[in-house]
Amino acid sequence: MTSRMSADNPRLRLGIFGIVIITLFAALFSRLWYLQVMATKQLKIAAQELQTRTLYQEAPRGRIYDRNGVVLVDNRISVVVTIDPKNLPGGRIDPADPKVEQKRADPKRVAILDKLATELTRYTQQNITRDFIESRLVDVRYSPYTPVPVAAAVPKPGLLYLSEHHAEFGDAIAVTQATVRSYPLGRTASHLLGYVGTATQEELDAKANAGTTKKYTPGDEIGKTGAERTYEDELRGTPGRLKLEVDAAGNTVRQLEYDPPIPGNDVYLSIDANVQAITENALHDELVNAHNRRNKDGSYNQSPAGAAVILDPNNGQVIAMASFPDYDPSAFVNGISSSVWDPLNNDPYTPLNNRALQGQYAPGSTFKLVTALAGLRTGVITPDTTINDGGRYVVPGCKGAVEQCSFVNSGGASHGRVNLPRALTVSSDVYFYQLGGQFWTQRSTFGDPIQDAAKDLGFDTESGIPLPGEQTGFVLTPGQKQDLHNKYPNAYPYGDWYTGDNVQLAIGQNAVAVTPLQLADAYSTLANGGTLYSPNIAIKITKGGTDEVVRSIEPRALHKVDLPATFRDPIMQGLFGAVNSQEGTAYGAFRNFPNWQVAGKTGTAQITGKQDTALFVGIAPFDAPRYVGVAVLEESGFGATAAAPVIRRVFQALADPSTAPTVGPGGVLSAAVPGAVDNSNGSPD
């Protein structure tokens, strides 16, 4: 038994070994057959890809012009020094890495970055340090996939030095030429123009999912805000494609294919560069004036911010749009540093926000347009309906405290017998208080006519302007107020709607907030006879570098508002009186205005815990309106004193071009508009 097992063991082992060998050869031949037969096509493609490299060359973005062909955004060639962190000693460093300081202290890394910082400081005259460079390398605003720019606009001597001393810095450092955005007029129209920056992964995914024909790759720039974002598809060029044959070491053997980059299309905006610059300067100057003006109680206004809009009421085109504080769009060229970004982003007055369409303000007496239209449409008043304005309105049947039951005119003024036009001219609050009270006590008959008229004029909804970030404002209804109370009881402690709510709503207080753009759009509807337009910021797209029109931007009418002459004329008459009658609230601001007759409405909105907001809306020329202008100045006092002079300066430049300055390089105006504004005879509002 034992001898038989001993004899069988070698035979058994050989048999098992043979099976293993056969199995291995079977697997080998199966794999070989798969590679030679089944996977031939795929492997051939892979082999070819090992021998070729495809590079994409960024195409110049299209230019942005004003309506008259003035260049607002251009391109320039910039010499940029970049660092590819993965090629540095220590590689790309994650700030969360516990060994971050150890890696940064690598002697070879320190030597390279110190040497680079020294040379960049010498040639750029900027204080560039190793710490600054390290902060750039981990700045979240730069793509982790591409080299990081650490210096731009390097002069030619610096370019030559870095090229000649390449061996001292290694492959991590590169000097390239890049096409970057330039802004010939400086900060002019910064909010409207916007800026570009490195595309985020979310933006890249969105473009890929949108099926755009223009390829985006990590590290590419994309419009972030303003017109740069709105017209990204038009402004972005088609990247060039270079296909190279390379050897096993990655060295270029020859060029196989080349498709040159195609520049993006040019965009012509509707704004007028001169009017834009004048509007911005007027807004800034009047904020400064308001800040330095002593009030009756001895205080000074805060006057931190404001906005202004100039529209063409006949087609909805934006002629100018200003917001203060503003920012310098050139700060974003080649990527904005954290030291610049953080102050902008953390500023309590949000300079990156476009207040013209994002600021939400109580409109004050400028809202009387809405209440007047509601009164005429319901038949509660006619243009000739009069009341005796004794300076105070007492809510009928009110049993609360005196301050809860009575409402007074601004400054306690008494205007005597007033009809609708005169009520607008002198800005009689009592006239509109009474309307608001009557609407509420007869709600079963009239519903909510103020809210209905506001909706027709474009309030409480987006205007549809093709710019990101627009706010809707609000004109609350009783139901909405109750819903807000139910949802946010701390912020809105009272859910019931009282007569006093309607009384204050009638003069643009308490339950209403609007954007300057909405206000301009509503008055444009009045000016043109009843067409509510969605504002446009551009007039045409042309093929890059040519006059060939690719697309025209047509006016976009949203709807018609029922505004017959029997409604429009008395309202316009009242607005004309506000500017031209000696008892008009804006008379002083527009005294001796040249060439045109102007209509307008002042507003002063009271904000709890803050100083008054100043507002003014102007329409010109009165007989055939071509411009509607709105100015809103935060915490700046009376509308007649602070806001009306802004529109006066803009309208005067339009009405009398001989007095108009011209914007030049850097956004500097050639001369100031002559003539001081005297508003001493204007009523406070």
Domains in the chain: ranges and CATH: 76-184 (no CATH), 273-667 (3.40.710.10)
Confidence at residue 179, expressed as pLDDT on a 0 to 100 scale: 85
Structure token digits, residue 184 = 């010939």
Strand duo 318-324 + 306-311: pairing = antiparallel
Q: Is the dihedral of CA 270, 273, 274, 277 positive or negative?
A: positive
Burial of 536 (0-12, 13-18, 19+ CB in 10 A): buried
CA–CA separation, 55 and 59 (whole Å): 13
* C-alpha of 224 from chain center: 9
Residue 510 CA, chain-centre distance (Å), reads 27
535 Cβ partners below 8 Å, 6+ apart?
A: 311, 316, 317, 318, 463, 464, 465, 517, 521
Closest listed residue to residue 279, CA positions, set 679, 649, 658: 649
Q: Is 167 helix (H, G, I), strand (E, B) or coil?
A: helix
Cβ–Cβ < 8 Å for 382, 376? yes
The low-confidence residues of the chain, meaning pLDDT below 70, are 1-9, 12, 29-50, 141, 143-145, 248-252, 402, 672-683
What totals of helices (H) and strands (E) does the chain contain, helices first? Answer: 25, 25
Cα–Cα distance between 341 and 532 in angstroms, integer?
38
**Alpha-carbon gap, residue 133 to 511, rounded angstroms:** 51
Task: Read off the tokens for 67.
Answer: 């309506």
Q: What is the pLDDT of residue 163?
A: 80
pLDDT at 1 (0 to 100): 47
Taking the C-alpha atoms of residue 107 and residue 103, their distance in angstroms, rounded to an integer, is 9
Which parts of 379-529 fold into alpha helices (H)?
Answer: 402-405, 420-426, 429-441, 443-446, 449-456, 478-487, 499-505, 516-528
Residue 438: HSE in the Cβ half-sphere, 13 Å Cα cutoff: 14
> Which is nearest to 51 in space by CA: 190, 245, 231, 221?
245
pTM of the model: 0.85
Contact predicate 362/509, CB 8 Å: yes
- φ and ψ of 477, to 5 deg: -100, 165
DSSP state of 143: -
Coil vs helix vs strand at 14: helix
- How is residue 592 written in tokens? 């001796």
Q: Which pLDDT score is estimated for 434? A: 97
* Token representation of residue 504: 């204050």
Q: Are 604 and 364 in contact (CB under 8 A)?
A: yes
